[in-house]
Amino acid sequence: MREQKFGGAADGGFLRLSVSGQELAAVFLRLEQAQRRGEWVLLQAVQTFDATSASPDALSHFDWPAGGGVVLASGGSEGERSFCLQPWFNLDRSAAACGQWLKAVGLDPRNLLFLSPLPFHHVSGLMPWWRSRFFGGDYQVLEPALMKQPEALMAACTALPGWGQKPMVVSLVPTQLKRLIDHAQGVIWLQQMALVWVGGASLPASLAQQARRLNLRLAPCYGATETAAMVAAQTPEEFLAGQSGCGAPLADVQLQLDSDGALMVRTERLALARWRDGAWKPLADADGWWRSGDAASISTGSDACQWLEIRGRIDGAIHSGGETVFPEQLGQRLLDEAKEQALPLEAVLLLPEESDVWGQRLVGLVRFSEDSYTQRDWLALVQRLSSITAEWFPAERPMAWHHCPELEASAEGKWQSERWQAWLNSQAKD
């Protein structure tokens, strides 16, 4: 663990901590100490500790709010990393709301083993530990690399003290879920979970159906760094009954849609501010609502509760031939249809290119399984992709395809659009 201190809590300073899986015990102790002292702590991965877009010098001149908390990275899916101020009491509020939800589905948060294979310097990796600490449950970090090696994961977990002695809950992103569900040992591991929260990205319909056939207790959910994690979640019973979407809002959350369909959230655990363009800026409007970057639909169920569905990122939507198109949804649709046709497509990302006629048109970055792709086969694979999308609306059909062997979402399940757009631009220059 590396740390740098800029000033002190009394004079507006903050602490930077680097985080690695091998040093989490030291990080836990340092965070507990910071909470007692009312300090602010910026959590960062070791590899980005010296390359943050938030300048420590600029941050050190900020008039930090009293009480302290954590500064967490957010906004990776937008291509622009930002940082959110989440006070300690917001983490407690989030844990309490999650605990209320757990009790409603029949799980006592005081008697759970919280497992976490997600990066600790992100809210999705921080909150499992914080929940276990808040309720007095057990906690175990899992190396993210194990999620790619189901046999090694099983061996490592069965050796853990207390494994299988309490109900176990885990948070995954869809990419991790897919890797596990495609392996016999991974399925066995998943079937031992009392609850599997799935968030960070939309859950593909084909993957959801596969999970239902295996009777996996998934709970698709939606949350953000700005809201200190989950604000809506399905129950496992709702999921197994065939429901789609992200479920109903948690007890301390209100949801509504902006005029353009963007999801808006109101809750007492909104981050105090977000660092962008060299300054801290408030999240909420005058009425306490935060506008997310996601397009959504909200329906009302038979029990009069709201039900949340995420359509895709507002900033990821393109306008093509007068139509609004959500590439993320189309990418999932393509994966589902490719699977039905036994096409070995493992990853797809649809990106916009400028068009004089259409305004913008989509192009597809794809990755096939290693044993199915050769340069000789590329034309046949493109023909199959074009056949799958032939019945789509014209604005939705990719006008070109590019084979990208390294194509993969981040560890948090997010697409780093700026990175892949740069890759696409480099192909045009070759």
Q: Which of 115-119, 300-304, 426-430 has the highest mean pLDDT?
A: 115-119
Asked whether residue 72 is assigned to any structural domain, the reply reads no
Asked whether residue 75 is assigned to any structural domain, the reply reads no
Task: Say yes or no to pLDDT of 385 above 80.
Answer: yes
Compute φ and ψ for 3, nearest 5 degrees.
Answer: -140, 150
For residue 408, give the 3-state DSSP assignment: coil
Query: How confident is the model over 277-293, as a mean pLDDT?
Result: 89
Whether 308 and 203 share a structural domain: yes
Query: How confident is the model over 227-242, as a mean pLDDT?
Result: 96
**Helix-strand-coil percent breakdown of the chain, rounded to 5?**
35, 30, 35
Range of the domain at 336: 317-429
For residue 416, give the 3-state DSSP assignment: coil
Return the pLDDT at 416. Answer: 81
For residue 312, give the 3-state DSSP assignment: strand
Asked whether residue 28 is assigned to any structural domain, the reply reads yes
- Dmax over CA atoms of the chain, in Å, equals 66
Confidence of residue 51 (pLDDT cuts 50, 70, 90): very low
Asked whether residue 99 is assigned to any structural domain, the reply reads yes
Query: How confident is the model over 395-417, as a mean pLDDT?
Result: 85
Return the pLDDT at 79. Answer: 38
Whether 97 and 157 share a structural domain: yes
Whether 151 and 101 share a structural domain: yes
Confidence of residue 53 (pLDDT cuts 50, 70, 90): very low
The residue that leads in pLDDT, 234 or 66, is 234
Output Rg (C-alpha) for the chain, integer angstroms: 22
Query: How confident is the model over 260-269, as a mean pLDDT?
Result: 95
Whether 291 and 363 share a structural domain: no
Return the pLDDT at 427. Answer: 81
Whether 219 and 185 share a structural domain: yes
Return the pLDDT at 81. Answer: 57
Mean pLDDT of the chain: 86
| Residue 27 Cα to chain centre, angstroms | 22
Q: Which amino acid is at 300?
A: T
Q: What is the CATH number of the domain that holds 296?
A: 3.40.50.12780
Whether 253 and 356 share a structural domain: no
Task: Say yes or no to pLDDT of 342 above 80.
Answer: yes
Asked whether residue 393 is assigned to any structural domain, the reply reads yes
As a whole number of angstroms, the distance between CA 257 and CA 263 comes to: 5
As a whole number of angstroms, the distance between CA 329 and CA 312 comes to: 6
Task: Say yes or no to pLDDT of 75 above 70.
Answer: no
Domain count, the chain: 3
As a whole number of angstroms, the distance between CA 426 and CA 309 comes to: 35
As a whole number of angstroms, the distance between CA 229 and CA 124 comes to: 7
Q: Please, what is the Cα angle at 10 between 52 and 63, to 5 degrees?
A: 55
As a whole number of angstroms, the distance between CA 84 and CA 228 comes to: 10
Are 40 and 48 in contact by the 8 Å Cβ rule? The answer is no
Query: How confident is the model over 355-382, as a mean pLDDT?
Result: 81
Return the pLDDT at 3. Answer: 72
User: Is 0.85 topped by the overall pTM?
Assistant: no
Are 130 and 96 in contact by the 8 Å Cβ rule? The answer is no
Return the pLDDT at 29. Answer: 92
As a whole number of angstroms, the distance between CA 397 and CA 374 comes to: 24
